[in-house]
Each structure stands twice: as structure tokens, then as C-alpha cells.
Amino acid sequence: MANTPLYRGFRYPREIISHVVWLYFRFSLSFRDIEELMASRGVIVTYETIRQWTLRFGQQFANELRRRQPRRGDKWALSSC
């Protein structure tokens, strides 16, 4: 995913775009919340830009998050305290 032409032509580096989209899908934050978080880190990006990024790259990130979740039927060991 890092060397794909998916991010070519965007003003921001792929690290910022992927972090913003990851924040949206991982923590269910609003676009404005993410805008504030990024502004506190010194990255000025509008909520509308974040919305467009999530529409464009969102399905790819959602699939990746879903793929990383444990599969049903996996065994989990619990230890008693």
C-alpha cells in the first residue's frame, strides 16, 4: 500500500492521509474532531477534505481493519487471577 499510485497527486503525504482515515474508522470520531486533533499536531486540514479522503480511501482501510480482527472460532485462553 505504501508504494501504490493511490496517493499520487495529493497535497498531503500519504502518512497524514492514512492516519486521518485510520482515526476516522478506528475510533469513530467525527470529521471535525479529527480536524481538531490534526490542528493540535500542526497539520491544518479541513473536515471536508477529511470527508473526501474517507470516501476515497475508506473502503480499503475498513477492509484492512476487518482482516486484522480475530476470526470467529479462534481460541482464546483466559487465566484466572
List Cα–Cα distances, 72 to 30, 76, 79, in angstroms: 29, 11, 20
46: alpha, beta or left, given left = phi > 0 and alpha = psi -120 to 50? beta
Alpha carbon distance 47, 37 (integer Å): 11
Look up the pTM and report it: 0.70
Please say whether the beta carbons of 21 and 58 come within 8 A.
yes
**pLDDT tier at 74 (50, 70, 90 boundaries)?**
low
CA 54 from chain centre, in angstroms, equals: 8
Question: Where are the chain's structural domains?
Answer: 16-68
Provide the pLDDT confidence category of residue 81 given band limits of 50, 70 and 90: low
pLDDT, tens digit, for every residue of 34-62?
Answer: 999 999 999 999 999 999 999 998 888 77
